[in-house]
Amino acid sequence: MKLLEELQDGKTTSRAATETCVARARALDSTLHAFLHLDKSAPERASQRDTSSLPLAGLPIAVKDVLMVEGMPATCGSKILEGFMPPFTATAVKKLQDAGAIVIGKTNTDEFAMGSSTENSAYVTTRNPWNTDRVPGGSSGGSAAAVAAGIVPAALGTDTGGSIRQPASYCGISGIKPTYGRVSRYGLAAYGSSLDSVGVLGRSVDDLVPLFEQMVGKDPLDATTVNPPDIRVSVPSDGTINGIKIGVPAEYFVTGIQAEVEGRVREAIGMLETLGAEIIPINLPHTEYALPVYYILAPAEASANLARYDGIRYTPRESEKSLEDVYRQTRGKRFGAEVERRIMLGTYALSAGYYDAYYGQAQKVRTLIRRDFEKAFERVDAIAAPIAPTTAFEVGKHGDDPISMYLEDIFTLPANLAGVPGLAIPVGFDGDKMPVGMQLMGAPFSEENLFAIGRSYQGATDWHEMKPEIAK
């Protein structure tokens, strides 16, 4: 990463770099609305610490507002957490801070990360830096916009069903959704606990890796984390991908996908072949069930997780007269429509009499989806596929039609259901000059392979260097 090298070489200081980021955020945010909280004292904090010998050397970053950072408000894009100050810092953020990173602020998100556009944020809708009439994607849309607009070199996001990869794709940047369990979720407001992952967005693969390396590893505070015994590395890291096997799943190239998205992704696959990869057609036969399975399991888990916002803790209170009144004023008034919808869907799917038909059945089909991937990774090192059926859509396009919004997630949900890592990289533009992304998915704990393939691709192309007008 260029800025990191400059910091390490003493060509710039953390204070100066942080000042630049904060100034850019202040200049652009009335247009982009990427931030929910900007810490103007970040440069001061940067100057108080000598981070020069640390791996991240005072690098300024932004953090999605579903991750707790001590000293900064955490809203999760929801009115139910308005004014909440977390008393501790999420492990993933803490590890970056310990490595020298400076958090400049918290980025906008769909409420509790439920959405694909940031339009479900209770505060603002973030705008796409390539065209401010369009959404940046979501739910990590604030982080994606902040990186694409050149405000920060990298930002943290979370991905439960695509929320790192899809906004990275919509904003023309790179993003890594790690293997389930590779990065601690301690201090992340839980959405779907069997699906949630914390990852990084940055302009290029080279920008992701230094942060990713600091974030991974077992955390006693998150029992789902592991130090993987066998990190799968079959791809050399020297930029050559000769003979590397890349699977292309037929189920990801279906009717309804925007022709230019398919075109750019196929060109990118062609480039991987030119670079020496062997392209192998594969099948992931249960892909079409990912959508109904996810939209049962994620709301079911959310309905349980969001029970902790009980109106007694976390939420500002007036002088309610009864317990029922407390609920009305807090949960009743402060959850947005999409969050309410998910809680109702999830509660229904878990209720006695329906549990087996919905939740139980969805769990079984989830296993079939995971097995599809297991089988595929017996034959290939990675899978290349589109991230979303279209490029970034216009703000308001999906209006009050949640199903049409859910359909945008079809290609990202399977990786979360299977727990496998996914790397998003930019691969070109459509006719409206909106970015197109491609994802590389790998077996569990094979992020290093994905980075090696991504680096090889970015060594031969310059899509990751393209910047929107606003970033120039």
Q: Which residues bind ligand GLN (CB under 6 A)?
A: 113-116, 139, 158-163, 191, 298, 409
Distance CA 58, CA 13 (A): 8
Which residue's CB is nearer to ligand GLN, number 198 or number 257? 198
- Rounded to 5°, angle at Cα 406 from 438 and 146: 55
Q: Least distance to ligand GLN from the beta carbon of 86, Å? A: 19
Least separation in angstroms between residue 183's CB and ligand GLN is 14
State in angstroms the smallest separation of the CB of 298 from ligand GLN: 5
Q: How far is the CB of 129 from ligand GLN (least distance, A)?
A: 20
Interatomic CA distance for residues 201 and 300, integer angstroms: 28
Q: Of 14, 64, 78, 204, which is the active-site residue?
A: 64
Minimum distance, C-beta of residue 6 to ligand GLN, in the bound complex (Å): 33
Question: Which residue is catalytic, options 78, 116, 139, 143?
Answer: 139
Active site residue 79: no
- Residue 267 vs 340, nearer CB to ligand GLN: 340
Query: Closest distance between ligand GLN and the C-beta of residue 422, in Å?
Result: 11
Number of neighbouring beta carbons within 10 Å of residue 321: 8
Q: What is the DSSP letter of 54?
A: S
* CA 270 – CA 384 distance, rounded (Å): 11
Task: Indicate if 204 belongs to the active site.
Answer: no
Q: CB 326 → ligand GLN: shortest distance, Å?
A: 28
- Of residues 143, 163, 169, 303, which has the active-site annotation? 163
Whole-number minimum distance, CB 156 to ligand GLN, in Å?
13
Name residue 428's beta-bridge partners.
436
Q: Minimum distance between the CB of residue 471 and ligand GLN, rounded to whole angstroms?
A: 25
Any residues with CB less than 8 A from the CB of 238 and at least 6 apart, and which? none
Q: How far apart are CA 42 and CA 58, in angstroms?
A: 11
**Residue 63 vs 326, nearer CB to ligand GLN:** 63
**Which residues have CB under 8 Å from 275's CB, separation 6+?**
240, 241, 456, 457, 460
Nearer to ligand GLN, 199 or 210 (CB): 199
- Assess contact for 430 and 172: CB atoms under 8 A: no
Q: Considering the complex, state which of residue 225 and residue 412 has its C-beta at the smaller distance from ligand GLN.
A: 412
Within 8 A by CB and 6+ apart from 463, the residues are 172, 425, 426, 427, 428, 435
- Residue 102 or 195 having the CB closest to ligand GLN: 195
Q: What token pair was written down for 226?
A: 């592991």
Beta-carbon count within 10 A of 436 CB: 28
Report the residue number, 158 or 214, with the smaller CB distance to ligand GLN.
158
Query: Strands across the sheet with 198-202, in order?
Result: 35-38, 102-107, 60-64, 154-158, 198-202, 174-177, 422-429, 435-441, 382-386, 245-249, 278-282
Cβ proximity to ligand GLN, 62 vs 410, nearer residue? 410
Q: Is 446 a catalytic residue?
A: no
d(CA 156, CA 142): 10
Closest residue by Cα to residue 156 from 72, 50, 239, 218: 72
Nearer to ligand GLN, 246 or 415 (CB): 415
Helix runs in 172-289, H state only: 205-215, 259-274
Q: Which residue blocks in 106-245 are alpha helix, DSSP H?
A: 141-148, 165-171, 205-215
Q: What are phi and psi of 162, to 5 degrees?
A: 135, 0
Output Rg (C-alpha) for the chain, integer angstroms.
21
Q: Would you state the structure tokens that stand for residue 418, as one six-digit string?
A: 């299977």
Cα(7)–Cα(267) distance, integer angstroms:
36
> What residues are annotated to the active site?
64, 139, 163
